[in-house]
Amino acid sequence: MVTFYVGSRASALARQQVRTFLAPLREAYPDVRFVHRPLLEGGDKDRTSRLAAVSVSSGGSAFSTNQEAALLAGAVDLVVHSLKDLPTANPDGLVLLPPPTREDVRDALCGGTLADLPEGATVGTGAARRIAQLLAVRPDLTPVPIRGNVPPRLGRTKARGGPLDSVILAAAGLRRLGLDDAIGELLPLESFPPSAGQGALGIQVREDNTAIREMLTDTGCADTWAQVRAERALLAELHGGCSVPVGTWATTPGAGVLTLLGQVTTLDGSRQITARATGTVTDPECLGRQVAAELLNQGAEEILARIRPAARVGS
Ligand SMILES: NCc1[nH]cc(CCC(=O)O)c1CC(=O)O
């Protein structure tokens, strides 16, 4: 019997994402054994994992470098990431495969609605993009930096006994964890375009692992794949990671059409640049570069250059 080892972070969300990803595969390949090997990342302190010591010095994301090292070392055959946590620079020897259909791409306000929050209300989010977008529509609100996994972040709201009026979280994570009832408002995509790849899984394998690549050739969603490639190409062109105030949202309305919205906002929300274009699903990177170029034409570099050294917190 063939066994494939599947890596992911050890959080509840990551475990749920692996279950969701593996369910159809387990059904389609009853003779293959899929073994989940959760692996703690970055700030995680689990000493029991024999893989926790493996690390790469590629300067990658705190959410993904251990996973990538485990893949390269052959300790796992495949890693299920949250795509938006994966840097756009691809480590040598690893490739991304088309992921399953993406979850809800929107950000969610938990604890009221934007219109109902009183003047000066606190909104928990550490993400530069979310802070900037929030202040662009409600400059009176008070962003409060929060970090950590989804459930403890949600626990910071007054509704759940915490100190904050509200928090912003990705709808995808909330839905995957069955926490949809905490959503007060799904933020409109035109003013709150998400992080590149939000709501999608990042399915990463070794480039030379033909067995698993063959098995997974037909399991991905072509529309999701075109969308996230365009979004990531836009982000890469702006040299952005997960810590810059860049929002991007691609759609595939049908007939091979791909649309892409890009948005860059100053951290205080006072200036916002938006660009959009339409292309084809056959060349998502071209569309991403085109929209990025339009943003740069409108002055995006000036905004990003000012923010880059200061921005540290992801999402
Ligand atoms: N940066 C943390 C992170 N990475 C992926 C998700 C949620 C799931 C997703 O967007 O795919 C989250 C939490 C959040 O932003 O609320």
pLDDT at 217: 83
pLDDT band, residue 60 (cuts 50/70/90): low
Query: Given a cut of 50, is residue 48 above it in pLDDT?
Result: no
Is-contact 60 85, C-beta < 8 A?
Answer: no
Q: Which of 15, 19, 147, 213 is catalytic?
A: 147
Q: Is 312 exposed, middle or buried (0-12, 13-18, 19+ CB in 10 A)?
A: exposed
The per-residue pLDDT of the chain, averaged, comes to: 91
| Ligand 1: nearest atom to the Cα of 83 | 11
Per-residue CA distances from 117 to 55, 112, 175 (Å)? 43, 6, 23
Is-contact 203 102, C-beta < 8 A?
Answer: no
Q: What is the residue with the minimal CA distance to atom 15 of ligand 1?
A: 170
> How confident is the model over 50-56, as a mean pLDDT?
36
Query: How much distance in Å is there from the Cα of 16 to the middle of ligand 1?
Result: 13
pLDDT at 58: 38
Catalogue the E-assigned strands of the chain: 2-8, 32-38, 78-82, 94-97, 107-110, 122-124, 142-144, 166-170, 185-186, 201-206, 246-254, 257-265, 272-280
Phi, psi of 273, deg, nearest 5 = -110, 130
Tell me the domains of the chain and their CATH numbers: 2-99+200-220 (3.40.190.10), 107-186 (3.40.190.10), 232-307 (3.30.160.40)
Residue percentage of the chain with pLDDT more than 70: 89
Active site residue 271: no
Residue of 150, 167, 313 to mutate, ligand 1, most atoms within 8 A of C-beta: 150
- pLDDT (tens digit, 9 = 90+) per residue, 272-294? 999 999 999 999 999 999 999 99
- pLDDT (tens digit, 9 = 90+) per residue, 142-190? 999 999 999 999 999 999 999 999 999 999 999 999 999 999 999 999 9
Pairing of strands 122-124, 32-38: unpaired
pTM for the model: 0.92
Query: Given a cut of 50, is residue 46 above it in pLDDT?
Result: no
Range with the poorest average pLDDT among 45-59, 74-88, 94-108: 45-59
- pLDDT (tens digit, 9 = 90+) per residue, 204-229? 999 999 999 999 988 899 999 999 99
User: Rounded to whole angstroms, how far apart are CA atoms 290 and 295?
Assistant: 9
pLDDT at 86: 94
Residues in the chain, overall count: 315
pLDDT at 222: 97
What does the DSSP 8-state code read for residue 156? T
Active site residue 242: yes
Q: Which of 9, 84, 106, 156 is catalytic?
A: 84
Q: What is the residue with the minimal CA distance to atom 5 of ligand 1?
A: 82
Q: What is the CA radius of gyration of the chain?
A: 19
- Among 212, 210, 217, smallest CA distance to 2 is for 212
Active site residue 156: no
Active site residue 85: yes
pLDDT at 64: 81
